[in-house]
Amino acid sequence: MAHPLAPVCEAVALLLSPHAEVVLHDPETDEILGIWNSLSDRAAGDPSLLGELTELTETGPDVYGPYPKSLPDGRRLSSVSAVVRDAAGKPEAVLCVNVDRTAFEEAGRILAAFAAPMTGQPRVLFEHDWTETLNDLVGGFVRERGVAVDRLTKSDRLELLARLDKAGVLSQRRSVPAVARALRISRSALYQLLAQARKEPNDADPS
């Protein structure tokens, strides 16, 4: 007859497959009652070797782990074990879940590589690319203001144009159409704002 905990073990194994095995032990005979998604090539009837639990500290009532284990091929596991008691309080079974950390550690390495500090743009490639400067200044300005480009006020646009002009963006050939698109305004509106910004530089750019 299957153990009453067998459906629970199978459900947990299905949820964590293929990264974990679930093992149900008989503490009285020190044998494996059942194993689901075996990672360790063990089978029902093999010795449980539950003596290792006596060397661990409980992390909760009748719960041990997570604690580290290893497979013969070198893969590392994170394991948890729970002692299941009967109505009289006697240990009836020990349920262990052993999770193969390989996939998670590899994912962690990939994410860490993506999160590594960027070295910045090579100056030799970008020092003359005024569109990069345009994008950086506009992007930084809207983040600073906390609004989208098309929600900038006239005062905001005057200040931004002053910064772009100071950075030399507006002195570049064919920059006006690009700046107008970036600010979501027409060329004529850009010329009017630029004239005002250059006429009153102290008001437009407090810095």
Rounded to an integer, the average pLDDT of 83-92 is 90
Please tell me the predicted confidence (pLDDT) of residue 118.
60
141 contacts 207 by C-beta, under 8 angstroms: no
Give the single-character DSSP code of 205: -
Give all strands (DSSP E) within 138-181, no chain letters.
none
Sign of CA dihedral 19, 25, 30, 32: negative
> Domain limits of the chain?
6-107, 123-204
The answer on pLDDT for 80 being more than 80 is yes
Strand partners, 150: none
Report pLDDT digits (tens) over 38-65: 988 888 998 887 776 666 677 778 898 8
Worst-scoring range by mean pLDDT, 3-7, 30-34, 106-110? 106-110
- Inter-CA distances, 156 with 35, 44, 145, 174, Å: 67, 73, 9, 23
In this structure, are strands 31-36 and 58-60 parallel, antiparallel, or unpaired? unpaired
Domain 6-107 falls in which CATH fold? Beta-Lactamase (3.30.450)
Report pLDDT digits (tens) over 113-170: 777 666 555 554 444 578 878 888 998 999 998 888 888 999 999 999 999 988 888 8
Report pLDDT digits (tens) over 174-187: 888 989 999 999 99
Which residues neighbour 189 within 8 Å (Cβ) at sequence distance 6 or greater?
180
Please tell me the predicted confidence (pLDDT) of residue 5.
92
Amino acid at 62: D
What is this structure's pTM? 0.54
The answer on pLDDT for 68 being more than 80 is yes
